[in-house]
C-alpha cells in the first residue's frame, strides 16, 4: 500500500509539473482570454484574490465593490472555465496564473 501511495504521489507531482509547463507555454493566450473578462482594475484585483479560501463577500470588501459585482465576475469566470465556483463555497482558480497586469 505504501508503494502505491508513493507511485500516486510521484504521478501527481509529474502532473503538476506538466500543468505548470502548459500554463507557461500558453501564458499569452491565457492572459488574452483573462483580459477579456478582467477588464477593470477591480476585476483584476478580484482575480488575484481568488484563492480557494476567500468567500465572495470577503473579496468584495477587500476590493471595495459590491458583493453582486463579485458574483457577476465569478459567474463570468466560471462560464469561461477559469474558476470552479458554487454558492456558499469559496471560488477556486483552475489555472494558477496571475498575469503581469499593467
Per-residue pLDDT of the chain (102 residues; tens, 9 = 90+): 667 888 898 898 888 888 778 767 777 777 888 888 999 999 999 999 999 999 999 999 999 999 999 999 999 999 999 999 998 999 999 887 777 755
Phi-psi category of 58—alpha, beta or left, where left has phi over 0 and alpha has psi -120 to 50? alpha
- Residue 40 C-alpha cell reads as 477593470
Whole-model pTM: value is 0.76
| Alpha carbons 78 and 72: distance in angstroms, whole number | 10
| Domains within the chain, CATH numbers bracketed | 2-93 (1.10.10.10)
Determine which helix (DSSP H) or strand (DSSP E) holds 84, and give its type and residue range: strand 83-84
Amino acid at each position: 500500500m505504501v508503494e502505491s501511495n508513493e507511485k500516486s504521489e510521484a504521478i501527481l507531482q509529474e502532473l503538476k509539473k506538466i500543468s505548470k509547463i502548459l500554463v507557461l507555454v500558453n501564458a499569452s493566450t491565457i492572459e488574452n482570454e483573462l483580459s477579456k473578462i478582467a477588464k477593470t482594475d477591480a476585476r483584476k484585483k478580484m482575480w488575484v484574490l481568488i484563492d480557494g479560501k476567500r468567500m465572495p463577500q470577503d473579496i468584495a470588501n477587500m476590493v471595495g465593490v459590491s458583493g453582486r459585482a463579485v458574483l457577476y465576475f465569478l459567474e463570468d469566470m466560471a462560464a469561461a472555465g477559469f474558476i470552479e465556483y458554487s454558492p456558499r463555497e469559496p471560488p477556486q482558480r483552475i489555472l494558477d496564473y496571475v498575469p503581469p497586469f499593467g
